[in-house]
Structure 1
Amino acid sequence: MFILFGSPRSGTTLFKESLNLHSGIFIPHQTTFISPVAHLIGCISDWSKAQTLITQLIVSTDDYREVLAPYISPSEVEEVLGSAKPTLAGILQAIYGRIARNTGKSICGDKTPDDLLSIRKLEQVGLLHSDVKLLHIVRDVRGVMSSLKNVIWAPEGIEEYFPRLWNYTNLHLHNAMRGRPNYLLMHYEDLISNPQGALARVTDFLGLPFEEAMLDNNKRAPVLRNDASHLNLAQPFLNDRATSWKSELDPQIIKHCETTATEALQVFGYIS
Structure 2
Amino acid sequence: MFFIFGSARSGTTLLAQVLSAHSKLIVPAETDFIVPANYIYQRVRDAGVRRALLADLIPNTSLFDDSLGRYMSRAEAKALILNGSDDLGELFAELYGLLAQRAGKTLAGDKSPNDLPLFPLLQANGMFKANPKVIHIVRDVRDSGASVLRLGWVDERVLKEFHARNWQNTNLKLSQAMQGDPNYFFLRYEDFATDPRPWCERLCKFLEFDFEPEMLEETRRDTRYDHVAAHSRITSKISGDAIGSYKNYMSEEEAENWTNHAKAALQLYGYA
1:270 paired with 2:271, answer yes
Deviation at 1:133, TM superposition (A): 1.1
Does structure 2 retain, via aligned residues, the 8 Å contact 1:258–1:265? yes
Deviation at 1:247, TM superposition (A): 4.5
State the secondary structure of the residue aligned to 2:134.
strand
Counterpart position of 2:57 = 57
Question: Aligned partners of 1:106 and 1:202: how far apart in 2?
Answer: 15
Deviation at 1:36, TM superposition (A): 0.2
Deviation at 1:8, TM superposition (A): 0.3
Question: Aligned partners of 1:165 and 1:252: how far apart in 2?
Answer: 20
Structure 1 spans left out of the alignment, 5+ residues: none
Deviation at 1:128, TM superposition (A): 4.1
Counterpart position of 1:226 = 227
Does structure 1 retain, via aligned residues, the 8 Å contact 2:25–2:105? yes
Deviation at 1:256, TM superposition (A): 1.6
Larger displacement relative to structure 2 (220-229 or 182-191)? 220-229
Instruction: Trace 1:184-263 onto structure 2 (pairs within 5 A).
Output: 184-263=185-264
Counterpart position of 1:148 = 148
Counterpart position of 2:166 = 165
Deviation at 1:101, TM superposition (A): 1.2
Does structure 2 retain, via aligned residues, the 8 Å contact 1:2–1:134? yes
The one-letter amino acid of 1:104's match is G
Q: Deviations over 1:203-226 (max 9, x none)?
A: 111111111111112332311022
Does structure 1 retain, via aligned residues, the 8 Å contact 2:52–2:82? no
Structure 2 spans left out of the alignment, 5+ residues: none
Counterpart position of 1:95 = 95
Question: Aligned partners of 2:56 and 2:93: how far apart in 1?
Answer: 18
Deviation at 1:61, TM superposition (A): 1.3
Does structure 2 retain, via aligned residues, the 8 Å contact 1:140–1:270? yes
**TM-score for the superposition, normalised by structure 2:** 0.94
Residues 253, 130 of structure 1: alpha-carbon distance in 2 compared, 3 angstrom cutoff: farther
Residues 66, 240 of structure 1: alpha-carbon distance in 2 compared, 3 angstrom cutoff: closer
State the secondary structure of the residue aligned to 2:199.
helix
Q: Percent identity?
A: 33
Instruction: Trace 1:55-134 onto structure 2 (pairs within 5 A).
Output: 55-134=55-134
Deviation at 1:193, TM superposition (A): 0.8
The one-letter amino acid of 1:153's match is W
Does structure 2 retain, via aligned residues, the 8 Å contact 1:89–1:126? yes
Q: Deviations over 1:152-175 (max 9, x none)?
A: 323332122100110010000111
Larger displacement relative to structure 2 (180-189 or 79-88)? 79-88
Question: Aligned partners of 2:218 and 2:65: how far apart in 1?
Answer: 28
Counterpart position of 1:3 = 3
Deviation at 1:270, TM superposition (A): 1.3
The one-letter amino acid of 1:242's match is I
The one-letter amino acid of 1:252's match is E
Does structure 2 retain, via aligned residues, the 8 Å contact 1:128–1:176? no
Give the superposed CA RMSD.
Answer: 1.6
State the secondary structure of the residue aligned to 1:127.
coil
Question: Aligned partners of 1:55 and 1:222: how far apart in 2?
Answer: 30
The one-letter amino acid of 1:205's match is F
Larger displacement relative to structure 2 (145-154 or 182-191)? 145-154
Q: Deviations over 1:56-113 (max 9, x none)?
A: 1011212223322231223432343345332321121010011111111011111111
- The aligned length equals 271
Question: Aligned partners of 1:17 and 1:66: how far apart in 2?
Answer: 15
State the secondary structure of the residue aligned to 1:241.
coil
Does structure 1 retain, via aligned residues, the 8 Å contact 2:55–2:82? no
Question: Aligned partners of 1:247 and 1:224: how far apart in 2?
Answer: 25
Deviation at 1:21, TM superposition (A): 1.1
Counterpart position of 2:38 = 38
State the secondary structure of the residue aligned to 1:223.
helix
Does structure 2 retain, via aligned residues, the 8 Å contact 1:18–1:220? yes
Counterpart position of 2:178 = 177
Residues 220, 78 of structure 1: alpha-carbon distance in 2 compared, 3 angstrom cutoff: closer
Does structure 2 retain, via aligned residues, the 8 Å contact 1:138–1:187? yes
